[in-house]
C-alpha cells in the first residue's frame, strides 16, 4: 500500500452492505481495489471450517490508486462507518490506517500490514467455470420460511435439498442420526431431479438478509452449491460445499 490514497464512496449504504456480507463469513478480510476496472472492489473470504466461501464485488467504490486493504476486524470497521450520516463519504487510506473526518465524526482505524492475511486457497476462475448441472431460484421469503421452521429441529444443523415427485424440497433433520426430528418444506415445482444434498444450516441463514431473488446452481459431481445474488450494486457469490449425509 502506498502512503496515501483516497477511497470515494458515492453511496455509503452500498459500502455497508458490502462489509456486512463479508463480516458474516470471517472477522478479517483483504479488500482488493482493482486496477483495470474503475469503481470495482472485491473480496474473497471463507468460513472457519471452509464449507463456505464468499466472493463479493462492489461496483461504484473508486480509489485513486489500486491495491489491497488488509482489515483486521470488518465488523468493527462497519460499526464506525455506520456512525457517519452523510449519503456519500471519502476515506483516506494512509500507510497503515483508514482515516475519516467531518464536522461531526472523526476516526482512525488501523490496518494489518501487507502479507499478514492470506486469501482462501481457491481458484475463483475454476469455480466460475464450474458446470452447473442444476439451476433454480429461491426467494428471500423461502429462505425465511426455512429459518422459521428450524425451531422445530433444534437438535440438528443440516438442511437437505432434494426433489420428490417433481417438487423441490427442503428437509431439516440429520439423516445420519437416529430419532432426529424432521420437517420437510415444499419449495415448488421443478423440472429436474436432485438427490438429497445436505448443507450446513448456518450457511443458509446467511442468505436471510439478501434481496428477493437468489440464483442457485448445483454441481452434482463435486457436491458444490453456488448462490448468486445481486443486491443494489453489490454482487455476492456464496460457494457452499455439501456435508456428508
Domain-ending residue, one of 94, 122, 150: 122
* 74-107 pLDDT, tens digit each: 999 999 999 999 999 999 999 899 999 998 999 9
Q: How many domains does the chain have?
A: 2
* Contact yes or no for 63/5 (Cβ under 8 A): yes
Instruction: Indicate if 18 and 109 belong to the same structural domain.
Output: yes
Torsion of CA 192, 197, 201, 205, to 10 degrees: -30
In a domain, 237, yes or no: no
Domain-ending residue, one of 122, 139, 158: 122
Instruction: Indicate if 105 and 139 belong to the same structural domain.
Output: no
Residue span of the structural domain in which 47 resides: 4-122
In a domain, 179, yes or no: yes
In a domain, 33, yes or no: yes
Instruction: Indicate if 75 and 154 belong to the same structural domain.
Output: no
Closest CA to 223 of 189, 205, 198: 198
- Average pLDDT rounded to a whole number, residues 32-39: 80
- pTM of this structure: 0.89
Query: What pLDDT was estimated at residue 238?
Result: 92
Q: Classify residue 117 by burial, with Cβ atoms within 10 Å: 0-12, 13-18, 19+.
A: middle
CATH of the domain at 98: 3.10.150.10
| Bridge partners, residue 120, by sequence | none
Strand 234-241 and strand 224-231: pairing?
antiparallel
3-class state of residue 13 by DSSP: helix
In a domain, 223, yes or no: no
- Average pLDDT rounded to a whole number, residues 186-192: 94
Distance CA 145, CA 201 (A): 13
pLDDT category, 27, cuts 50, 70, 90? Answer: very high
Domain-ending residue, one of 122, 140, 155: 122
Instruction: Indicate if 171 and 90 belong to the same structural domain.
Output: no
Instruction: Indicate if 106 and 16 belong to the same structural domain.
Output: yes
Instruction: Indicate if 104 and 67 belong to the same structural domain.
Output: yes
Distance CA 239, CA 35 (A): 25
Instruction: Indicate if 108 and 148 belong to the same structural domain.
Output: no
* 194-235 pLDDT, tens digit each: 999 999 988 888 887 666 789 999 998 888 999 999 877 889
Query: What pLDDT was estimated at residue 53?
Result: 92
pLDDT category, 21, cuts 50, 70, 90? Answer: very high
Tell me the CA end-to-end span of the chain in Å, nearest whole number.
Answer: 45
Amino acid at each position: 500500500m502506498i502512503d496515501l490514497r483516497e477511497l470515494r464512496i458515492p453511496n455509503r449504504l452500498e459500502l455497508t452492505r458490502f462489509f456486512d456480507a463479508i463480516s458474516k463469513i470471517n472477522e478479517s478480510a483483504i479488500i482488493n481495489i482493482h486496477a483495470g476496472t474503475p469503481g470495482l472492489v472485491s473480496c474473497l473470504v471463507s468460513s472457519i471450517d471452509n464449507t463456505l466461501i464468499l466472493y463479493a464485488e462492489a461496483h461504484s467504490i473508486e480509489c485513486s490508486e489500486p491495491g489491497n486493504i488488509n482489515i483486521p476486524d470488518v465488523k468493527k470497521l462497519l460499526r464506525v462507518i455506520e456512525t457517519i450520516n452523510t449519503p456519500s463519504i471519502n476515506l483516506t487510506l494512509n500507510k497503515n490506517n483508514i482515516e475519516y473526518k467531518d464536522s461531526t465524526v472523526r476516526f482512525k482505524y488501523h490496518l494489518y500490514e501487507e502479507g499478514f492475511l492470506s486469501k482462501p486457497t481457491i481458484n475463483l476462475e475454476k469455480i466460475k467455470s464450474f458446470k452447473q448441472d442444476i439451476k433454480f431460484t429461491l426467494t428471500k421469503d423461502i429462505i425465511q420460511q426455512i429459518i422459521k421452521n428450524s425451531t422445530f429441529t433444534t437438535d440438528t444443523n443440516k438442511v437437505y435439498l432434494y426433489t420428490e415427485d417433481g417438487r423441490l424440497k427442503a428437509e431439516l433433520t440429520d439423516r445420519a442420526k437416529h430419532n432426529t426430528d424432521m420437517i420437510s418444506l415444499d419449495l415448488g415445482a421443478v423440472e429436474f431431479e436432485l438427490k438429497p444434498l445436505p448443507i450446513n444450516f448456518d450457511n443458509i441463514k446467511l442468505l436471510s438478509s439478501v434481496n428477493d431473488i437468489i440464483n442457485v446452481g448445483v454441481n452434482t459431481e463435486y457436491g458444490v452449491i453456488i448462490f448468486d445474488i445481486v443486491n443494489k450494486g453489490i454482487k455476492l457469490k456464496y460457494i457452499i460445499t455439501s456435508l456428508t449425509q
